[in-house]
Amino acid sequence: MLKIADTTHFPPGHPQVAFGRIGVLLVNLGTPEATDYWSMRRYLKEFLSDPRVIEVNRVVWWLVLNLIVLTKRPGPKGKDYDTIWNKALDEGPLKTITRAQAEKLAAAITREDPRLIVDWAMRYGKPPIAERLEALQKQGCERILIVPLYPQYAAATTATVCDKAFDALKTMRWQPIVRIAPPWHDDPAYIENVCISLEAHLARLDFEPEVILASFHGVPKSYLEKGDPYHCHCMKTGRLMRERLEMSPERFRITFQSRFGTEEWLQPYTDKTVEALAKSGVKRLAIVNPGFTADCLETLEEIGGENREIFLHNGGEKFAAIPCLNDTEEGMRVIETVVRRELSGWMASRT
């Protein structure tokens, strides 16, 4: 059995070092630290300054961001966040859920291998990726598995997590060996558990939806044209879910939400589809968000609030926003499946 940080055989005067551990870092998008104007401004500035997120001329975007967006957007967005804020812990729900996912993952896997340490971070906001990578390294993690909590790969999500992690590695003298978990958009465990969760929620409704929308976060159409696989990953997830649920394309549909700016984004748009369905006579609608591993502003406020209002205002009668997998049994089975697969060689080895 490996002795953790055993330095008894070191020569006199050797600096104290920790070694022999394996880290797992779960990373989600991020959340502001509070809902006031300045907290929202800091968060939005970090997020919208990322060239992976906004791929336009940097000089033009700097002017638009600082003179328009960061002046007008923090106030209304802060009000939106306030409607979903975890008042008990004074934090956004994404932070609450991601912490719980890390804690449950640690409880499930660390007892099998005492070398394992599980931590979590946010790409934007706190705790930052660099801080948690340094913390894992200081605890002796020579190998670290980074798990971007996005089932579908996109440059604006998965790749920017990698960018930030590699930036942190560039500052380290003794770099840990890093492995990035691949996307799991078509993993059988993911498809099965997201469908099990959806079926369970549908069974508890007091109505049967005529249409179910699988709403994914949108990106500009130009990203697809540049070679980003995100759209393809979303479409495959939706197709596999529809086949598993044995539903027709008319009843189980794929849409894209959360567009920003004037550029054309991936279509069909969720809000426009919701409006059109209601106006066409559909009275009962449910929306599920299989691209999100945790509930956040986009699922709780945009889907559960804005799109509910759009549907009811245009003639709909029954609406359900299906919760994300979060830290439920189904959600943790997916995360644990991904982590165990990517740690298989590391966990099996003993030195």
Feature table: binding site for Fe(2+): 217, 298
| Angle between helix 188-204 and helix 329-348 axes, rounded to 10 deg | 160
Hey, how many other C-beta atoms are within 10 angstroms of the C-beta on 192? Answer: 17
Report H helices in 210-328: 221-225, 230-245, 270-279, 297, 308-313
Task: Give me 254's structure tokens.
Answer: 């794929």
Distance CA 51, CA 43 (A): 15
Helix and strand numbers (H, E) in the chain are 14, 8
Cα torsion for 303, 124, 57, 257, to the nearest 10°? -10
On the 0-12 / 13-18 / 19+ scale of CB atoms within 10 A, 147 is buried
Annotated binding site: 217, 298
Q: Are 151 and 184 in contact (CB under 8 A)?
A: yes
Q: Which two tokens stand for residue 156?
A: 């604006």
Q: Are 129 and 118 in contact (CB under 8 A)?
A: no
Residue whose tokens read 């008894």: 8
**How deeply is 17 buried, as exposed, middle or buried, from its count of CB atoms within 10 A (0-12, 13-18, 19+)?**
exposed
Question: Where do we find the tokens 């197709």?
Answer: 239
Q: Of 120, 110, 111, 48, which Cα lies nearest the Cα of 77?
A: 48
Burial of 49 (0-12, 13-18, 19+ CB in 10 A): middle
